[in-house]
């Protein structure tokens, strides 16, 4: 049996596709954004092929060595990258979707979820530096991303994730542990 | 003295609670300890490298050696707080659980909000290089580890598909964030519940383990599913449990771990404090109705 609150959230999720006005340009914006992320992942894969692979059964030393080597390779390959290179024209699209979904979620549930593990809420010993190519500190927790947003935002490949740092949204390369791009103050 | 409580939330469940008898049992094993059953332990929010984690690990070892030789341990996330360099893997995992690891006990981890995704490659966590995965340690029992930090469409499709493919009688999920919680700090994750609970119900999940809240809680069966929170294997949020209508049993005054045994249609559980005292125990009966089992005969032991 599903209670009333769950029913509301489910109804919201079910209606999500048709709930927001889909502008003709949105399709192209999402397509372009996805292409830029794919390009990033292609580059990441190419860099990975030049360093010792990380196997399913690795030691802590192998994990650390691999992550550091990959981070260094990504940072070097993207040394000229700047904020907005990946989000680019999708910036307004992300702001609109996030604001709309957070507003529609009942009982402030999605906002509360974003606070879970958010480094601004649970300050780590090493603060997260909001910069392209900056390493995401191992000591920092990661924010939970509400399913309602993950089901609405463009899907990302396995090694890149959306995360929140305070009110800012980052694209996090989870294998190199670096920030690929970010948008500031997307949570209204 | 024991008491049977029956619930009818669509699927029929029964739990035998022995809580009234606990003071007299003290440090005794209340599980059948049958050699042909699946015996396992559950810990959550362990990775501090601090004194309490080590004390719980020692208590687990004691029970493993002298009373209940469990073969695997489920880890409910926050396996490592703070830094995660090789020294941290030693201090926050390998050293405290070394006697169990040496005894051949396998640990199966899920990721918490303090865990780096790279933990999925760590050999001792047996995650197959994945954020979410499944394994079947014994015929009839299948575990599903989820990454509740990032429940995207791909993962939802995966769990739906894996649950529907599985013909196991016992389908047990474990992940970090609790769908039901009486915790004053976090409470229930209603967003996650809205997407996961309907899938669990549809595909016959019997039991769900979560951490995140630094205490122990047994939730009254919700829509036919048993939920446990075991999140004080290394951190404790003393006095954090609030009174809710769904709480079956709560314990927030000391650290703990759980011991469990699946024997046919019964799952026996016993929750033990850092001092070795039993704080909760009982038996869950698996629902009897038929389950979808598309590939029941062909399931592989992964």
Q: Which structure tokens are listed for B36?
A: 């042909």
Residue B15 pLDDT > 50: yes
The shortest CB-CB distance from B154 to any of A66, A146, A155 is to: A155
Write the ipTM.
0.87
Question: Per residue in A90-106, pLDDT tens?
Answer: 999 999 999 998 887 66
Give the H or E element holding residue B74: strand B72-75
**Nearest to residue B143, comparing CAs of B42, B274, B216, B217?**
B42
How large a percentage of chain B has pLDDT more than 90?
83
Residues of chain B with C-beta less than 8 angstroms from the C-beta of A138: 82-85, 116
Residues of chain A with C-beta less than 8 angstroms from the C-beta of B85: 60, 64, 138
> Residue B121: helix, strand or coil by DSSP?
helix
**Cβ–Cβ gap A107/B195 under 8 Å:** no
A-to-B residue pairs, Cβ atoms closer than 8 angstroms: 116
Q: Which structure tokens are listed for B200?
A: 């669990």
8 A C-beta contact, residue B81 and residue A138: no
Question: Per residue in B133-158, pLDDT tens?
Answer: 999 999 999 999 999 999 999 999 99
Q: For residue A10, what is the nearest residue in chain B, using CA coordinates?
A: B194
Q: Which residues of B touch A (CB under 8 A)?
A: 9-10, 82-86, 88-90, 113-114, 116-119, 121-123, 128-129, 148-154, 156, 177, 186, 189-195, 197-198, 223
A44 interface with B at CB cutoff 8 Å: no
**Cβ–Cβ gap B86/A61 under 8 Å:** yes
8 A C-beta contact, residue B211 and residue B181: no
- Give the single-character DSSP code of B162: H
Determine how many CB atoms are found less than 10 A away from the CB of residue B266: 15
Q: Which structure tokens are listed for B237?
A: 């949020």
Q: Which structure tokens are listed for B207?
A: 């039991």
Read off the pLDDT band of A22 (50, 70, 90). low
- pTM for the model stands at 0.89
**Cβ–Cβ gap A144/B223 under 8 Å:** no
Question: Per residue in B100-141, pLDDT tens?
Answer: 999 999 999 999 999 999 999 999 999 999 999 999 999 999
- The two beta strands, B278-285 and B266-273, are antiparallel
C-alpha span between B117 and B155 (Å, rounded): 15
- The two beta strands, B170-174 and B278-285, are unpaired
Read off the pLDDT band of A126 (50, 70, 90). confident
**Cβ–Cβ gap A141/B114 under 8 Å:** yes
């Amino acid at each position: 049996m599903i209670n009333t609150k769950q029913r509301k959230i489910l109804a919201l999720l079910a209606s999500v596709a048709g709930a927001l006005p889909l502008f003709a340009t949105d399709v192209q914006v999402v397509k372009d954004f996805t292409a830029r992320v794919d390009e990033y992942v292609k580059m990441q894969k190419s860099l990975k092929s030049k360093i010792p692979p990380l196997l399913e059964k690795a030691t802590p030393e192998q994990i650390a060595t691999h992550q550091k080597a990959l981070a260094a390779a990504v940072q070097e390959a993207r040394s000229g990258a700047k904020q907005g290179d990946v989000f680019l024209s999708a910036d307004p699209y992300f702001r609109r979707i996030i604001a709309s979904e957070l507003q529609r979620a009942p009982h402030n549930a999605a906002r509360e979820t974003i606070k879970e593990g958010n480094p601004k809420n649970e300050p780590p010993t090493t603060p997260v530096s909001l910069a392209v190519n900056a390493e995401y500190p191992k000591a920092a927790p990661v924010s939970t991303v509400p399913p309602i947003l993950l089901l609405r935002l463009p899907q990302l490949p396995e090694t890149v994730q959306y995360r929140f740092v305070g009110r800012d949204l980052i694209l996090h390369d989870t294998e190199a542990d670096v920030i690929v791009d970010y948008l500031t103050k997307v949570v209204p | 003295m024991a008491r049977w409580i029956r619930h009818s939330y669509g699927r029929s469940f029964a739990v035998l609670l022995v809580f009234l008898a606990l003071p007299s049992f003290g440090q005794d094993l209340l599980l059948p300890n049958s050699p042909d059953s699946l015996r396992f332990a559950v810990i959550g929010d362990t990775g501090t490298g601090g004194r309490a984690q080590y004390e719980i690990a020692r208590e687990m070892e004691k029970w493993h050696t002298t009373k209940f030789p469990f073969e695997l341990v489920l880890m409910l996330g926050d396996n490592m707080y703070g830094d995660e360099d090789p020294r941290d893997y030693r201090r926050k995992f390998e050293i405290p659980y070394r006697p169990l690891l040496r005894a051949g006990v396998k640990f199966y981890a899920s990721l918490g909000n303090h865990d780096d995704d790279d933990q999925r490659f760590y050999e001792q966590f047996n995650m197959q290089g994945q954020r979410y995965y499944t394994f079947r340690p014994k015929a009839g029992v299948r575990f599903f580890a989820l990454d509740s930090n990032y429940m995207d469409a791909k993962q939802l499709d995966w769990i739906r598909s894996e649950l529907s493919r599985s013909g196991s009688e016992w389908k047990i999920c474990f992940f970090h964030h609790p769908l039901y919680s009486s915790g004053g700090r976090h409470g229930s994750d209603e967003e996650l519940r809205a997407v996961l609970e309907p899938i669990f119900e549809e595909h016959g999940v019997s039991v769900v383990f979560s951490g995140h809240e630094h205490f122990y809680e047994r939730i009254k069966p919700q829509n036919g599913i048993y939920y446990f929170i075991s999140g004080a294997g290394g951190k404790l949020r003393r006095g954090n449990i609030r009174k809710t209508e769904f709480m079956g049993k709560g314990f927030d005054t000391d650290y703990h771990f759980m011991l469990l045994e699946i024997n046919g249609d019964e799952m026996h559980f016993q929750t033990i404090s850092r001092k070795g005292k039993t704080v909760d125990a009982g038996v869950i009966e698996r629902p009897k109705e038929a389950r979808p089992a598309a590939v029941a005969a062909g399931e592989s032991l992964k």
